[in-house]
């Protein structure tokens, strides 16, 4: 029990404070589990003069070099966020023989391969459990517990802000604008909500999940992204009537013929699907593999302490590697480069909602147009609108190529009886 492993912490924001708190509160149990004491030696902060009650008794510095040059520090914990200088600091730490633990989804999504290679080159660990799903163990399960499988699907609710908003729209019937305002008031959404509502945050997590699940490198630019800004209360109401809920999902699929496709978009999900009852700010990741079948991981997707739970678990993992003199243990490699399936070639069922003229023959014209684009229909509903002369047509298609839906969309735009294409949303039917 005499051995001590010292950490350098980069950043002292929400997650950093959580890490300090978890290490303080649970130090006795953690020491017993690890067989060594973990202690934070130095914290990199922006302004060393600022009072930080949460960092009491800890040494702070404004200069990363102090941590880099400190031979006593064997683990660097990066919690600054953002691409730069986080990426550079982590690379330098590994070059100096220090292992790195991070919660930084941006760096892992965009520079993951560079990080893995640097870790391998220097025989150190690079761990990033907290980068997806906050406190939920999902990175380790994918790298380790499910690694005997050929994974075919990973599908997750990985953005708490949008899940909260969609849950509220569904529960209360409120519209997009008012649930966004509510989420902002509760601190779940930023003043500029774009990263969440446009799906960019989820896209980073989708790239990481797909990279791990399919053991291939998925570049962020290969992720197709649609956000939730176009979802209306009417769409949510139709979903309910048809037996679905609307969720923003990060989806990765590996069909051996077409390759890997990775995307983030709203989905009509059957109410019976395990992800359908994941509500509010909770996250969950559903996976499918050729040995396990289906499994799901559920928990808090963000927050100071849940995220710290994952960060500290990674720190403990590195400590165990250090204590057992492990060198260059393979945690993950993505050397297997699978082809990426273009979005046009992906297949799905679709919900298509059109505002049309309310006159005889319209339904026939719509059905014919779908048929001409090679889109076959599973069901069609036509409903009167409050404005006389208009009706709404809601169609659920069979499974078709995205290219065919784009083709149908183009044809509808040219069709005089179609006044507006109100929404097109994918339906997950498996």
Residues annotated as part of the active site: 205
The string of DSSP letters for 43-62 reads: EE-S-TTS--GGGTT-EEES
Binding residue (CB under 8 A) for a second copy from 59, 297, 401, 429:
297
Stretch that binds a second copy, among 18-26, 110-118, 369-377, 391-399 (CB under 8 A): 18-26
Q: Phi and psi dihedrals of 325, rounded to 5?
A: 55, 35
Binding residue (CB under 8 A) for a second copy from 25, 88, 114, 344:
25
Binding residue (CB under 8 A) for a second copy from 65, 172, 335, 378:
335
Stretch that binds a second copy, among 61-69, 103-111, 292-300, 393-401 (CB under 8 A): 292-300
For position 65 contacting a second copy by CB under 8 A, the verdict is no
DSSP 340: B
For position 293 contacting a second copy by CB under 8 A, the verdict is yes
For position 160 contacting a second copy by CB under 8 A, the verdict is no
Single out the residue of 137, 145, 152 nearest to residue 293, CA to CA.
152
> Taking a C-beta distance cutoff of 8 angstroms, is the pair 61, 50 a contact?
no
Binding residue (CB under 8 A) for a second copy from 5, 10, 34, 427:
34
Q: Are strands 390-397 and 347-357 parallel, antiparallel or unpaired?
A: antiparallel
- Is the Cβ of residue 230 or residue 327 nearer to a second copy in the bound state? 327
Binding residue (CB under 8 A) for a second copy from 290, 368, 376, 385:
290
For position 18 contacting a second copy by CB under 8 A, the verdict is yes
Q: Phi and psi dihedrals of 300, rounded to 5?
A: -75, 125
For position 326 contacting a second copy by CB under 8 A, the verdict is yes
For position 316 contacting a second copy by CB under 8 A, the verdict is yes
145 contacts: CB under 8 Å, gap ≥ 6: none
Ranges within 126-155 binding a second copy (CB under 8 A): 129, 135-137, 140-141, 144-150
Spatial separation of the C-alpha atoms in residues 82 and 304, rounded to whole Å: 17
For position 177 contacting a second copy by CB under 8 A, the verdict is no
Could you tell me the smallest distance in angstroms from the CB atom of residue 311 to a second copy? 8
Q: In which element (H, E) is residue 287 found?
A: strand 282-289
For position 260 contacting a second copy by CB under 8 A, the verdict is no
206 contacts: CB under 8 Å, gap ≥ 6: 156, 158, 218, 223, 250, 251, 252, 262, 263, 264
> Taking a C-beta distance cutoff of 8 angstroms, is the pair 34, 122 a contact?
no
Q: Which residues bind a second copy (CB under 8 A)?
A: 18, 22, 25-26, 29-30, 32-35, 129, 135-137, 140-141, 144-150, 215, 274, 277, 289-300, 303, 305-306, 308-313, 315-317, 320-321, 323-330, 333, 335-336
């Amino acid at each position: 029990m005499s051995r001590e492993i010292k950490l350098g912490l980069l950043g002292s924001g929400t997650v950093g404070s959580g890490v300090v708190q978890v290490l303080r509160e649970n130090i006795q149990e953690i020491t017993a589990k690890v067989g060594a004491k973990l202690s934070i030696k130095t914290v990199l902060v922006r302004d060393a003069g600022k009072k930080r009650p949460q960092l009491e008794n800890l040494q702070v510095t404004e200069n990363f070099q102090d941590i880099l040059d400190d031979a006593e520090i064997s683990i660097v914990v990066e919690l600054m966020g953002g691409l730069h200088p986080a990426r550079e600091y982590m690379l330098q730490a590994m070059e100096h023989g220090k292992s790195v633990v991070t919660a930084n989804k941006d760096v892992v999504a965009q520079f993951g391969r560079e990080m893995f290679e640097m870790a391998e080159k220097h025989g150190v660990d690079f761990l990033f459990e907290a980068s997806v799903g906050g406190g939920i163990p999902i990175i380790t399960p994918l790298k380790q517990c499910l690694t005997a499988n050929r994974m075919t699907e990973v599908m997750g609710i990985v953005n708490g802000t949008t899940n909260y908003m969609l849950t509220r729209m569904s529960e209360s019937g409120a519209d997009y604008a008012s649930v966004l305002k509510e989420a902002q008031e509760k601190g779940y959404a930023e003043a500029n909500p774009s990263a969440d509502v446009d799906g960019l945050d989820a896209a980073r997590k989708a790239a990481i999940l797909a990279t791990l699940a399919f053991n291939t490198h998925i570049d962020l630019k290969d992720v197709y992204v649609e956000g939730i800004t176009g979802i209306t209360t009417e769409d949510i109401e139709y979903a309910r009537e048809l037996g679905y809920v609307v969720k923003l999902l990060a989806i990765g699929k590996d069909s051996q013929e077409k390759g890997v496709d990775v995307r983030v978009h709203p989905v009509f999900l059957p109410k019976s699907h395990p992800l359908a009852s994941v509500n509010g700010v909770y996250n969950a990741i559903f996976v499918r593999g050729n040995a396990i079948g289906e499994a799901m991981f559920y928990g808090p997707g963000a927050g100071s302490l849940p995220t710290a739970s994952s960060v500290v678990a990674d720190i403990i993992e590195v400590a165990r590697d250090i204590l057992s003199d492990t060198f260059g243990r393979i945690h993950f490699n993505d050397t297997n480069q699978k082809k990426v399936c273009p979005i046009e070639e992906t297949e799905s069922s679709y919900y298509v909602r059109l505002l049309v003229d309310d006159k005889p023959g319209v339904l026939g014209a719509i059905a014919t147009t779908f048929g001409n684009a090679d889109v076959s229909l599973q069901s069609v509903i036509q409903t009167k609108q409050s404005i006389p002369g208009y009706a709404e047509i809601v169609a659920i298609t069979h499974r078709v190529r995205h290219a065919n839906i784009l083709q149908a969309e183009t044809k509808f735009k040219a069709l005089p009886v179609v006044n507006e294409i109100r929404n097109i949303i994918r339906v997950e039917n498996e």
